[in-house]
Structure 1
Amino acid sequence: MEHVELITESDFIGWRAWARSLLHQYIASESIYWDDIPTGSEKAPALTRKLPESPSPLRLPRPVQDLIPAVIASGHPERFSLLYRLLEHIRGGCPSFTDTTLWKDLVALAHETRRAAIALRQILPPSCSDNIKICRIHVSPSLLDSQAPALISLRAAPWLIHTEGRLLLYENGQLFFSTAAIEAECLADDAQLLTHARSTAQPVYKSAYWKAIFPLTITPTPSFIEKAPSLETLRAYSVDCALCPLCRPALRTVFGEGNPDAKILFVGEQPGDQEDRRGRPFVGPAGQLFDRALQEAGGERSRYWISNAVKHFNFIQRGDRRIHQKPESQHIQACSPWITAERRLLHHHVTVMLGVTGASALLGRPVKVTRERSRLFTLPDGTTGLVTVHPSSLLRQPDEQKRQGDYIKFVNDLRLALSAL
């Protein structure tokens, strides 16, 4: 028997290296014992290890590449062995391996794992408060490991998640983890669990253990987005959005937030620097001005839904600064499934379009704000529409007297939107 020791339940890197080597040697799956370190084991993962170096003995079809991370994240006790058996089928040149029971079982397992990942993402609320969110859940440690990047992207505010055999703490922009079993007395209340986490968890970036993990992403397609059953699910999908190139330089997808029963939907252009960092729309200087104007108009932000036509920050880097760039038509078009889905899932009566980009995205045509603002009209979806300026335009106005006049007009536009209810 070949005894292969993996350093974690999520050791994708170790499994891949050994699988390549064993396939090269034509070692049969029945002769391999895959030993991933059990949860809570006293056996610490090796800080350094020598993995076999073998070229990949076969070219994997894309569906197989997408399947492997999901199966490993599933926590199934035979996942490493089952995946190796699949590679044997492919190496044997079987053209119909997708018709085998093994393939169908693995596809079903991957499907259930992705559903569990979406459910896991939904336990973390948006970063509307800087208070730490503490969650106790029952999922496989390997699933929690695979979703750590997504959870960080979903909630920039601090959080702590504990499941049997794994503890993840995200605080001060850094992820900490522990694999040791937690004593019962440390679980008595949230304060004790947090104290225990802060005293025992180690930083992920220092850990060889964590470098072996491959994150499970669930890249949404427009048809996938269109079928989302709720705003919470839509937000969970948005983490892995790759519909346009803006997803690569931006820190995260900034999804809409607010009251899911909102009667008014506000749609702006795109996140700015602060929004991208904090994971919330309209929290930078323009957002603060918007909140103040909304209050003066008689409204309260928490009662409404706030979103953007584009969900990623478009910028150019100049030294330490990220300079806002107007999104291009390709970005607006690529992002349209998101705002369309938000509008479908909300039951709002009024849609307020803030600025040219928000208005053009929703109306599907060029818009001149100065010509179309400050009047109510009916949109194709039956809601009442109103076009007004984006609050950032007020901040860019150099003339103080004109800025004050424009601000009063903006407040009046918001007051008109509220009156339409």
Structure 2
Amino acid sequence: MRVAALASADDFDGWRDAARRLIAERVPPHDVVWQVGDLPTDLFGDEAITADPAPFRVPRAFIDLARTAILHAAPERFALLYAMLVRLVAEPRLIDDRADPAMRRLEEMAKAVRRDIHKMRAFLRFREIADDTGPRFVAWFEPEHHIVRRNARFFVDRFAVMHWSILTPELSLHWDGKALAEGPGATRADAPDGDPVEEVWKTYYASIFNPARLKKGAMLKEMPRKYWKNMPETALVPALIAGAQAREAAMIETARTAPQGNVLPAWEALRDEATACTRCPLWKPATQTVFGEGPVDAELMIVGEQPGDQEDLAGHPFVGPAGQLFDRAMAAAGLDRSRVYLTNAVKHFKFEARGKRRIHAKPGVGEIDACRWWIEQERAIVRPKMTIAMGATAARSLTGKAVTIGRERSRPITLADGGTGWITVHPSYLLRLPDPAAAEIEFGKFVEDLRSAAAAV
């Protein structure tokens, strides 16, 4: 057995030097014991690494991957990296095989490390204390992986004029404006609880808090709960959410009890709130939220899938090719679009970019479920006598489960809130039919669905 001793848990240079010597000795991965600092090693791992490293080449991409993956907390990371290095020396193209289990595992480890690096930069909070040299700022953070030294340069560059300390369980960093020093690990009790600036920040945070930026089922979009106790604003979140939910509940209750013509302010408030929605990632690439439109006292509500390319640009539902076919079907069914409330199950355009074109992509279950809150509030305000779901996405949004269109189509169903629903196809389905004769037959069935649903009212 060979013992490879490393100075610290993030000692990439030490790992690389040891790996070079092990390769020179042709030591197989299963004959190496990796030891960090003074941690005990295998009782039989007592042979030192002595060979001088012979030159060899490995892909640069592996070196970059190893620099990050080695920061992972998994104890087996050193052995995994060395085993992959041995294989790459013999087969350099293996670096491009993303189906290889070992390569995939290393990529996942590197991704977790990068995510932890981001969390430290995003969620670390300094608190001011006074010492003999003047103001000093101290922060406490609990990383999942060995990322503190890797992140040091970021904080030095960003807070170059401050005197600060970052305390973590593993080690501490101290910057005096000129030099960076390391110290031993600390505990949460070593960090201050708050300062005057923090109170100002809490006041500001409370004033800008927007519940529409919360994920359904989670209080903060990206912030794991483990970081809440270290951040001043998170102490405010439960009360802010409770207040927001109370306001929303009051708004909806007012809409329920008010005469039908007086619910427009509640609907306008809901629409305005939806413009800032970040409940799922679709808001990032989309141009805007496309909310429902139509009279808020409509007896008939029609729900589609999601905005398309033209709807995303225009900010209005059903204005693209599928919308034009929908208008033709409405006219054939004897329905007036201006008297129907039109909306979509998902309020942002999901697409794949292909050159300059944006190609429609089907919303996922998570995205549908995240947007169900808006549909539920729209239905609570409008209170339609009939809600038509066009397509599987809309049907899932209304029922909360996967629906087979062919089995549930063309008949009334009872929704969870006691309302009546009706399921049919989406107009885009008709546009995709290659046979004109079949498309015309299906168009007739779609028109009949619209006519029958309206008659059922």
Scaled by the length of structure 2, the TM-score of the pair is 0.47
Counterpart in the other structure of 2:454: 418
- Aligned pairs, number: 243
Residues of 2 paired with 1:279 and 1:241: CA distance? 15
Task: Return the offset for 1:360.
Answer: 1.5
1:319 aligns with 2:417: no
Change (3 A) 1:341 1:246: same
> 1:22-421 counterparts in 2 under 5 A?
95-97=193-195, 224=244, 227-228=247-248, 229=251, 230-421=266-457
* % identity of equivalent residues: 44
Asked if structure 2 preserves the Cα contact closer than 8 Å seen for 1:269 and 1:308, the reply is yes
Residues of 2 paired with 1:267 and 1:367: CA distance? 15
CA offset digits 1:15-71 (Å, max 9, x no partner): xxxxxxxx9x979xxxxxxxxxxxxxxxxxxxxxxxx995566799xxxxxxxxxxx
Asked if structure 2 preserves the Cα contact closer than 8 Å seen for 1:397 and 1:403, the reply is yes
Residues of 1 paired with 2:320 and 2:241: CA distance? 30
Asked if structure 2 preserves the Cα contact closer than 8 Å seen for 1:225 and 1:237, the reply is no
Residues of 1 paired with 2:209 and 2:341: CA distance? 28
Q: Secondary structure at the match of 1:338?
A: helix
Q: Give the structure with higher Rg (CA).
A: 2
Change (3 A) 1:414 1:114: same
Q: Secondary structure at the match of 1:257?
A: coil
Asked if structure 1 preserves the Cα contact closer than 8 Å seen for 2:294 and 2:342, the reply is yes
Residues of 1 paired with 2:203 and 2:438: CA distance? 62
Q: Secondary structure at the match of 1:353?
A: strand
Counterpart amino acid of 2:442?
Answer: D
Task: Return the offset for 1:294.
Answer: 1.1
Residues of 2 paired with 1:301 and 1:226: CA distance? 34
Residues of 2 paired with 1:286 and 1:262: CA distance? 22
Bigger mean CA deviation after superposition, 311-320 or 230-239: 230-239
CA offset digits 1:293-316 (Å, max 9, x no partner): 112212111212111111111111
Residues of 1 paired with 2:164 and 2:336: CA distance? 59
Counterpart amino acid of 2:289?
Answer: T
Change (3 A) 1:107 1:325: same
Asked if structure 2 preserves the Cα contact closer than 8 Å seen for 1:226 and 1:337, the reply is no
CA offset digits 1:122-162 (Å, max 9, x no partner): xxxxxxxxxxxxxxxxxxxxxxxxxxxxxxxxxxxxxxxxx
CA offset digits 1:209-238 (Å, max 9, x no partner): xxxxxxxxxxx9899578532221111111
Counterpart in the other structure of 1:130: none
Task: Return the offset for 1:407.
Answer: 0.7
Task: Return the offset for 1:289.
Answer: 1.1
Task: Return the offset for 1:392.
Answer: 0.5
Q: Secondary structure at the match of 1:258?
A: coil
Q: What is the alpha-carbon root mean square deviation over aligned residues?
A: 3.8
Q: Secondary structure at the match of 1:392?
A: helix
Asked if structure 1 preserves the Cα contact closer than 8 Å seen for 2:398 and 2:415, the reply is no
Asked if structure 2 preserves the Cα contact closer than 8 Å seen for 1:355 and 1:390, the reply is yes
Counterpart amino acid of 2:328?
Answer: R
Q: Secondary structure at the match of 2:343?
A: strand
Asked if structure 2 preserves the Cα contact closer than 8 Å seen for 1:246 and 1:313, the reply is yes
CA offset digits 1:180-208 (Å, max 9, x no partner): xxxxxxxxxxxxxxxxxxxxxxxxxxxxx
Unaligned 5+ runs, structure 2: 1-129, 136-157, 167-190, 213-239, 252-265
Residues of 2 paired with 1:340 and 1:113: CA distance? 25
Change (3 A) 1:378 1:245: same
Change (3 A) 1:277 1:364: same
Counterpart amino acid of 1:344?
Answer: A
Scaled by the length of structure 1, the TM-score of the pair is 0.50
Task: Return the offset for 1:246.
Answer: 1.2
Task: Return the offset for 1:405.
Answer: 0.9
Residues of 2 paired with 1:339 and 1:275: CA distance? 18
Change (3 A) 1:103 1:344: farther
Unaligned 5+ runs, structure 1: 1-22, 28-51, 61-92, 119-219
Counterpart in the other structure of 1:176: none
